[in-house]
Structure 1
Amino acid sequence: MKRFMSSKRKGKKIFIGLAIVVFFFLVIALLQFLWNTLVPEIFGFKAISYWQALGLFLLSKLLFGRGFGRPGGFRRRFKNRDMDREDISEEDRQRLREEWKRRFDSRCKF
């Protein structure tokens, strides 16, 4: 039974890995398609190849994205680092929450 579960997990990991790789190549193909469909007509630029689309994707991720790390952003890092620490007393947590509300509540109305 253990061997079956282990091979099942391994197969699941391989499938997920392959799905991620296929998704990555499909995103590049979509970028190339959209560029070649829209940009030459709108701006008069030339069409690009698949590899140029890959380079454009990587360049845009480096310039405008957060890199290739895990999603979650500042909020998750802040919460995990400061609010869930055991060495902060409950009074300090409450004081920190009040300070954040005082500073940022007017800007973060939904």
Structure 2
Amino acid sequence: MGFTTKGKKKGKFVFVFFAIILGAGLLLALLQFLWNALMTDIFGLRAISYWEALGLFVLSRMLFGRGFSKQKKGIRQRVEHEDAISEEDKEKLKSEWRRRFEDRFNC
């Protein structure tokens, strides 16, 4: 007897689940290794544990990687948004950002 479709889907789900867990574990181990190999020598910081590497990863994702939301705008959505803006509004936006930059950096 062969696998049923339901059995194949369950097996695939289990495989993907454990692959994600293994991948995350390897990513954290790599982060810990790189921190301990580089940051301790370059900046004199202390070595970190595996769980501290997890905390560092989560913090960096929240600060720099859009958190853990599933709402990621793709290039197509950005292009559609830019196309929807009139030329006059684009010029206003550019001049406003130019003014902010010049005010902040005294250019």
TM-score (norm 2): 0.66
Q: Secondary structure at 1:73's aligned position in 2? A: coil
Q: Secondary structure at 1:6's aligned position in 2? A: helix
Structure 1 CA distance for aligned equivalents of residues 20 and 55 of structure 2: 18
In structure 2, the CA distance between the partners of 1:99 and 1:59, relative to structure 1 (3 Å rule), is closer
Counterpart position of 1:30: 30
Q: Write the deviation string for residues 12-63 of structure 1: whole angstroms up to 9, x where unpaired.
A: 0111111111111111000000000000110000011111111111111111
> Please, which runs of 5 or more residues in structure 1 have no aligned partner?
84-95
Which 4+ runs in 1 deviate beyond 2 A? 69-76, 96-100
RMSD of aligned C-alpha atoms? 2.9
Structure 2 CA distance for aligned equivalents of residues 55 and 99 of structure 1: 40
Structure 1 CA distance for aligned equivalents of residues 24 and 11 of structure 2: 20
Aligned length: 87
Q: Write the deviation string for residues 55-95 of structure 1: whole angstroms up to 9, x where unpaired.
A: 1111111111111233743545x37xxx6xxxxxxxxxxxx
Structure 1 position 58 matched with structure 2 position 50: no
Structure 1 CA distance for aligned equivalents of residues 71 and 31 of structure 2: 21
> Please, which runs of 5 or more residues in structure 2 have no aligned partner?
95-107
Q: Secondary structure at 1:12's aligned position in 2? A: helix
Structure 1 CA distance for aligned equivalents of residues 15 and 35 of structure 2: 30
TM-score (norm 1): 0.65
In structure 2, the CA distance between the partners of 1:28 and 1:71, relative to structure 1 (3 Å rule), is farther
Structure 2 CA distance for aligned equivalents of residues 63 and 97 of structure 1: 29
